[in-house]
Structures are given as structure tokens and as C-alpha cells.
Amino acid sequence: MTGHGKGIVADIVVGVIGAIAGGFLARYLGVTTAATSHSIIVEIVIAFAGAVILLAILRLAGFGRRRSFFR
């Protein structure tokens, strides 16, 4: 396999931290979930967006690449 991740535990940790960051970002931007009838869907989308943003930042910083000494 030629994956570029850090493993299942690190991916879960990054996803949870990204979801929390997405919640803070949504609150900062004024996105509310209490007024909508499908608030769980909005919260899932916010968590997903936060995780994607955090993964993009980490990838740009170089944390998603494995380095091999044998190549």
C-alpha cells in the first residue's frame, strides 16, 4: 500500500480535533443549528468541513508525508 496517512489512531484524532475546530469556526461565523429542523445534518457538515480544513492545513505543513530512507 502506498498511503500517506499516519495511521487509524492519528486520523481519528485529527478528525475529532477538526470537528471541534469546525464548531468553533461555525460559531465565529454565526452559523446556528438551533433554528433549523435538521440540526444534526448541519452539525455533521460543520464537523466534516472542520476536519477537511484541518487536514488541508496539516498536509500543507508537511505532516501527511512519509519519508523513506531506502528510496
- Total Cβ atoms within 10 A of residue 23: 16
C-alpha 59, offset from chain centre: 11
Is the pLDDT at 1 greater than 50? The verdict is no
Q: How many domains does the chain have?
A: 1
Tell me what pLDDT residue 41 has: 83
Give yes or no for a contact between 33 and 42, defined as CB atoms under 8 angstroms apart.
yes
Residues comprising the chain, all counted: 71
Does 3 map to a domain?
no
pLDDT in tens, 9-36: 887 888 899 889 888 888 888 877 666 6
Q: Which domain holds residue 30?
A: 8-61
Does 45 map to a domain?
yes
pTM over 0.85: no
Q: What is the mean pLDDT of residues 29-58?
A: 81
* Per-residue confidence band for 54, with pLDDT thresholds at 50, 70 and 90: confident
